[in-house]
Amino acid sequence: MPGVDPELVRSFVTQNGLAEKSSIASTKLQPGDESAEPSLQSTTTTSQSRPKTQTAKRKCRSVPVGLIPVTVRLRPEVAGALKRASLERELEGEQVFTQQDLVEQALEPWLKENGFLD
């Protein structure tokens, strides 16, 4: 990222030493600095000025009740096919078109058949 200290980015991503770097970042990143990434700028400013508000905001960004984020790795051809199916179904106006819905629809019968889901 042009105009952003690599150490600041590394500490932001790893969450190590963010408090120390945020004070440095706020002096380097000026409000009119368009070369800096906006989300990084707002995060460092928020964490420095209002940490309690930031914690409150995190609580507001909860996933809907009943949905739990799950991460899986797919082969490129499977991921591509899933994405294509999702986009084509959306263009055709199908009700079930999101990648999440398609994966749930495919996975649920297998889990039931093998006794993992009631």
pLDDT of 108: 96
On whether both 74 and 34 belong to a single domain, the answer is no
On whether both 80 and 98 belong to a single domain, the answer is yes
Q: Note whether residue 10 is domain-resident.
A: yes
**pLDDT tops 70 at residue 81:** yes
- Mean pLDDT of all residues in 69-88: 96
Least confident range of 8-12, 80-84, 107-111, 112-116: 8-12
Residue 115: which pLDDT band, with cuts at 50, 70 and 90?
very high
- Mean pLDDT of all residues in 75-99: 96
- Mean pLDDT of all residues in 17-23: 47
DSSP string for residues in 26-58: HHHS-TT-TTS-HHHHHHHHHHHH-HHHHHHHH
End residue of a domain, out of 60, 79, 104:
60
φ, ψ of residue 12 to 5 degrees: the values are -65, -45
| Total domains present in the chain | 2
In angstroms, the Cα distances linking 21 to 3, 18, 32, 43 are 15, 5, 20, 12
On whether both 67 and 117 belong to a single domain, the answer is yes
Residue 61: which pLDDT band, with cuts at 50, 70 and 90?
low
pLDDT of 107: 96
Domain region containing 97? 63-118
